[in-house]
Structure 1
Amino acid sequence: MIDQYKEYFSLEDKEVLLEMYKTIFEIIYNWIVVVDKEGYIKMMNKGYCDFLGTTEEEAIGKHVTEVIENTRMHIVVRTGNREIGDVQQIRGNKMIADRIPIIKNREVIGAVGTVLFKDLVELDTYAKRVNVMEKELEFYKKELKKALGNDNTFDHIIGISQSLRKVKELAKQVANTKSNILLLGESGTGKGLFASAIHNSSLRGEYPLIKINCAAIPNELLESELFGYEQGAFTGAQKGGKPGKFELANKSTIFLDEIAELPLNMQAKLLKVIQEREIDKIGGTKTQKIDIRIIAATNQNLEEMVKKKLFREDLYYRLNVVSIKIPSLRERKEDISLIIKHLIKKFSKEMDKFVTEITPASLSALMRYGWPGNIRELENVIERAFNLIDKEAMIMLQHLPLYITNPLNSAITKNSKTLKFMLEEIEKHAIEKSLIENDGNKRKTAKDLGISRTSLYEKIERYDLDM
């Protein structure tokens, strides 16, 4: 190395460098031996000599086989093949040795041998330390996900309905791809839960999911939040600048919720990020390459917005590589009882209340309701009930809001004020109540209601009351 740069160094410099090399050679933790092309020792550090019970003066000049037991250094200089991580027994100790040929002008001129682990016990100790560190790292990753609310999996999506099962299967199928995903569904259907489950099932799941609600950030701050800024980019910019959400999501996934609320000028910049896979910070002078996957979500009809020029068509198709429509709660009412059981366990733990069940009448009322707010509304209703429960240990009708327990009020809350609609809701409630009282016996139910069995069957089919 010194010869390579001899024209740049004075004699004094060379002497200093040589002294440095010697010092490093002696103090380095590894045991080191250097041999020439014939296998004769040229250098051996003090640690190795002490272990072998010799000195540098005695060792240097001897053939390596005379000094080191079971050595293969002379074989390495002959073959020119390196040997890494070989187990070598010396003086009763099994050690881990590396042997590397020294090549100059395509000719082997010697070899260097190192012993990193002096015995297998030491190697085992290192391996255990690494294992502990890996477990700690995995623990902190999980804790970070919990802190960010990103530890959800597909097991957290509760339901047995056919519509939900189809959607879950599709989401699982595309989770491990690199394609962008567009989640569609009404407010409160669980689009964020699906985004988290998809991310955690993907190859990017070891990194945290980065979330941003496009509707919650003022337009003037949106660009800096998404793409970040450099120091001094504008008045009030924090010292040292700030990374944007896209930079934080590098090698991971970014979840753009309420994507329909993104202004048109920001839609153009997002399109550029997707196409070129790079970002420009505000006030920056160079672009930064990023590797991200986008999951976008909206409760609006993007196709209609494209037609009205409110959403860019090219961006729509870039985001809509895989479209997943999450069913509303009223489309999968058979899942309501399962979700309620889950929520009872959740709030019992969080609120430290002993609640075990829900009465049949209360469940029936919740099953009748239309749930315009979907699962989010159901969760709020159950949490409200927990606040009202005293010693009953169960959710009863008096713990539920009046607009749910009263069928007429329930009809009005469904954004329909027609008399026909309200009468149908009352009729449906009466038939369902009679069926429950008669244990599903349709002949008795028809008699109690004063209608024919044919008429009853027609109404059961119309109101989807398969009991």
Structure 2
Amino acid sequence: MINKRYIKESHQRCIDLGLSKKIKYSKKILGNEKLQDKMENKREFITLSKPFISKLYDFVKGSNFFTILTDEKGCILDVIGDDKILSEAFSLKMIPGAYMDEKNIGTNAMSLALTEKTPVQVSGADHFITAYHRWTCSAAPIRDTKGEIIGVLNLTGYSDSVHPHSLGMVVAAVNAIEKMLEAKSSNAELENVKIFLDTMLDSIPSGIITADLEGNIKTLNKYATELFGYDYLEMKNMNISDVFSEWSNAVKAIKKKESFLDEDVFVKANRNILQLNLSVHPILDHKRKLKDVVYVFKEVKKVRKLANKIMGRQAIYTFDKIIGTNKDFVESVQFAKKISDSRSTILIMGESGTGKEVFAQSIHNHSRRRKESFVAINCGAIPKNLIESELFGYAEGAFTGAKRSGHPGKFEIADGGTIFLDEIGEMPLDMQTRLLRVIEEGTVSRVGSTNEVVVDVRIIAATNKKLSDEVKKGNFRKDLFYRLNVLPLKLMPLRERKEDIPLLIDYFMDRISKRINKKQVEISANHMEKLLNYNWPGNIRELENLIELMLNTEKVPNFLDLIDTKSGSDLDYTVLDDDLTLEQVEKEHIIKVLKSSNGNITNSAKTLGIGRNTLYRKIKKHKINCSKFEQCSSLGRG
């Protein structure tokens, strides 16, 4: 029980540290602010351990014992016990925030459990400091699933009343905590041990309800009562149909041995309607017959984070990837940083190719929402008959072919994060009305449903149009324009900050050469002058594409020599070499991309880095025959 070698070696270390046996208090006790930070950091560990500490204390309650939970460094996180002995402990400042490790308070069971990494009992004079000689302490280290010590559980009582089994009780409690940690981290099936069942269920952040085949609720966890807004007894006497009216469909699926997993459903809580994610699982008896059903309700927002990794777009750009030294441009960047954490709507205005989405992503990544979803949608690239369901989702049965249980829209997927509405000027008027309502009320309703879902979404819109002119033309709602234009951000065209062109060329040359594994191309002073004097109608995107062309051909294209910088025309000139024109290169490249995407215009335009309308014009210009491509067979025949 007490390894004398441990005691002897520990006492010697204390002497070497210069500790006095007469000290009463730990040399390190955290102040209020640091203690609050510590408690918050260890909140989950404390919460998980508390039921087992209480159960351990219940065995010795009234016998002058107290229990202590410490972290991996010996800092006290929690203390409970009988009044008399607890009063003595507090007089010695054995309180949350006090460190019980060897260097701060000498030899004790908690310090030895940490240094020797094993359960230990220390009694009477085996403690280094005299103030602890009246007690016997039993302690054991708590390990996580990786085997690392994350804390210590200790039971202390007067030496004359401590039983040899005290250490055994502590070890049993620690084993229970470690099993709980293992079950929680691995999401494994619940242990079939009654002593752990209630605590394990309460530790899972999902509403879990079991019901018989008639829907009578048999068990539920604490989270379910919080989720639905009822107390435990009230909900225990309810039928599952009282909260989930479509429960019979789930049971039918289970009876047919069909899966019912990760379905979005609407449920009736105490005071409102909630949208939750539901998975249903069968409970079979010993004869493998269906006996009961388990309903696992999760908050949609948490599920959406995983879904967004699959179907949404992640924000990858940050402000350090935005290149420029132009004074006005730098001021725009600083303004964008300043408004990143604002809840107000941002309207980014600028010509095509000026980097509107780069700014939108950078704003998101500079905000407190950086760990949440970033969802981008091009309002001009979605057919008008689909944009409503894309933005707001649809309910089950909303239209022919609708997915069972419906489908979430981009606003639901972006809940908690940012939604980027590119080409907002292309949004149909009826959708503008719905968008205005989302901004004003903070709720969305799926197509075919009357249920309102609360969403917390930061909206960033972008346009290459002058929306005020669109308002005058009747193409854009005035009230929506004012709602969007709360924080206007105007991006400069490249021709107005030409001093940044050499920086951008170096940046793109370095980044693209590494991506495509090509050596960098040297640009002569003459060619650099031409690039500086060119008006860049395609802005930064055009410059980036030109650098990629240089790297792929491993030379500066000959057509740069023929640029008339006074004409202001596009880069649409003569030859790359002796027998292949730039237009021929462009045509062949467009055909290649169309082939690879089976004629999908949206995907092809995205690959080429141009808009759909631009691609349509180029197909017509180059007289590309699309009849062999299934998805654009009606184009290019004239």
Q: In structure 1, what is the equivalent of residue 165 of structure 2?
A: none
Distance 2:68 2:364 in 1: 54
Is residue 45 of structure 2 the alignment partner of residue 30 of structure 1? no
Q: In structure 1, what is the equivalent of residue 121 of structure 2?
A: 91
With normalisation by structure 1, the TM-score equals 0.62
Is residue 404 of structure 2 the alignment partner of residue 239 of structure 1? yes
Q: In structure 1, what is the equivalent of residue 362 of structure 2?
A: 197
Corresponding residue SS for 1:91:
strand
**Offset at 1:98?**
11
Is residue 229 of structure 2 the alignment partner of residue 73 of structure 1? no
Q: In structure 1, what is the equivalent of residue 458 of structure 2?
A: 293
Structure 1 residues 197-247: Cα deviation after superposition (integer angstroms, max 9, x where no partner): 001101111113110000000000000000001121100112231110000
**Offset at 1:350?**
1.5
**Offset at 1:358?**
2.0
Task: Evaluate the alpha carbon distance shift between residue 29 and residue 314 of structure 1 in structure 2; reply closer, same or farther with a 3 A threshold.
Answer: closer
With normalisation by structure 2, the TM-score equals 0.46
Task: Evaluate the alpha carbon distance shift between residue 72 and residue 343 of structure 1 in structure 2; reply closer, same or farther with a 3 A threshold.
Answer: closer
Task: Evaluate the alpha carbon distance shift between residue 325 and residue 67 of structure 1 in structure 2; reply closer, same or farther with a 3 A threshold.
Answer: closer
Task: Evaluate the alpha carbon distance shift between residue 203 and residue 67 of structure 1 in structure 2; reply closer, same or farther with a 3 A threshold.
Answer: closer
Is residue 265 of structure 2 the alignment partner of residue 257 of structure 1? no
Distance 1:325 1:378 in 2: 20
Corresponding residue SS for 1:183:
strand
Corresponding residue SS for 2:547:
helix
**Offset at 1:284?**
1.6
Distance 2:155 2:452 in 1: 43
Q: In structure 2, what is the equivalent of residue 338 of structure 1?
A: 503
Structure 1 residues 152-176: Cα deviation after superposition (integer angstroms, max 9, x where no partner): 1111111111121010011011111
Distance 1:148 1:275 in 2: 25
Q: In structure 2, what is the equivalent of residue 175 of structure 1?
A: 340
- Out of 392, 408, 411, the position equivalent to 2:567 is 411
Q: In structure 1, what is the equivalent of residue 353 of structure 2?
A: 188
Q: Which amino acid aligns with 1:405?
A: D
Corresponding residue SS for 2:564:
helix
**Offset at 1:307?**
1.3
Alignment of 1:283-362 (within 5 A): 283-355=448-520, 357-362=522-527
Q: In structure 2, what is the equivalent of residue 269 of structure 1?
A: 434
Report if aligned partners of 1:69, 1:91 keep a CA contact under 8 Å in 2.
no
Report if aligned partners of 2:376, 2:422 keep a CA contact under 8 Å in 1.
yes
Distance 2:387 2:506 in 1: 40
Corresponding residue SS for 1:175:
coil
Corresponding residue SS for 2:434:
helix
Q: In structure 2, what is the equivalent of residue 64 of structure 1?
A: 63
Q: In structure 1, what is the equivalent of residue 549 of structure 2?
A: 384
Distance 1:200 1:356 in 2: 33
Distance 1:240 1:166 in 2: 48
Structure 1 residues 388-430: Cα deviation after superposition (integer angstroms, max 9, x where no partner): 11xxxxx43xx25x2x432437616169xxxxxxxxxxxxxxx
Distance 1:145 1:361 in 2: 47
Distance 2:392 2:312 in 1: 23
**What count of residue pairs does the alignment treat as equivalent?**
328
Corresponding residue SS for 1:411:
coil
Q: Return structure 1 stretches of 4+ with deviation > 6 angstroms.
A: 66-71, 76-79, 83-88, 113-117
Alignment of 1:77-226 (within 5 A): 89=110, 91-92=121-122, 93=139, 95-96=152-153, 118=174, 144=309, 148-226=313-391
Task: Evaluate the alpha carbon distance shift between residue 68 and residue 373 of structure 1 in structure 2; reply closer, same or farther with a 3 A threshold.
Answer: closer
Computed over aligned residues only, the root mean square deviation of the Cα atoms, in angstroms, reads 4.1
| Higher RCO (CA < 8 A, seq sep 6+) | 1
Task: Evaluate the alpha carbon distance shift between residue 335 and residue 178 of structure 1 in structure 2; reply closer, same or farther with a 3 A threshold.
Answer: same
Distance 1:281 1:98 in 2: 56
Q: In structure 2, what is the equivalent of residue 15 of structure 1?
A: none
Report if aligned partners of 1:64, 1:73 keep a CA contact under 8 Å in 2.
no
Q: Which amino acid aligns with 2:350?
A: G
Report if aligned partners of 2:67, 2:153 keep a CA contact under 8 Å in 1.
no
Q: Percent identity?
A: 39
Structure 1 residues 126-172: Cα deviation after superposition (integer angstroms, max 9, x where no partner): 9xx99xxxxxxxxx99x959993512111111111112101001101
Corresponding residue SS for 1:64:
coil
Where does the alignment leave 5 or more consecutive residues of structure 2 unmatched?
1-49, 70-78, 101-108, 111-119, 123-138, 141-151, 157-168, 187-304, 572-638
Distance 1:149 1:202 in 2: 14
Report if aligned partners of 2:318, 2:362 keep a CA contact under 8 Å in 1.
yes
Report if aligned partners of 1:30, 1:116 keep a CA contact under 8 Å in 2.
no
Moved more, 191-200 or 404-413: 404-413
Task: Evaluate the alpha carbon distance shift between residue 114 and residue 267 of structure 1 in structure 2; reply closer, same or farther with a 3 A threshold.
Answer: farther
Report if aligned partners of 1:188, 1:376 keep a CA contact under 8 Å in 2.
yes
**Offset at 1:65?**
2.5
Task: Evaluate the alpha carbon distance shift between residue 303 and residue 117 of structure 1 in structure 2; reply closer, same or farther with a 3 A threshold.
Answer: farther
Distance 2:458 2:397 in 1: 30
Report if aligned partners of 1:181, 1:322 keep a CA contact under 8 Å in 2.
yes
Q: Which amino acid aligns with 2:348?
A: L
Report if aligned partners of 1:260, 1:300 keep a CA contact under 8 Å in 2.
yes
Corresponding residue SS for 1:272:
helix
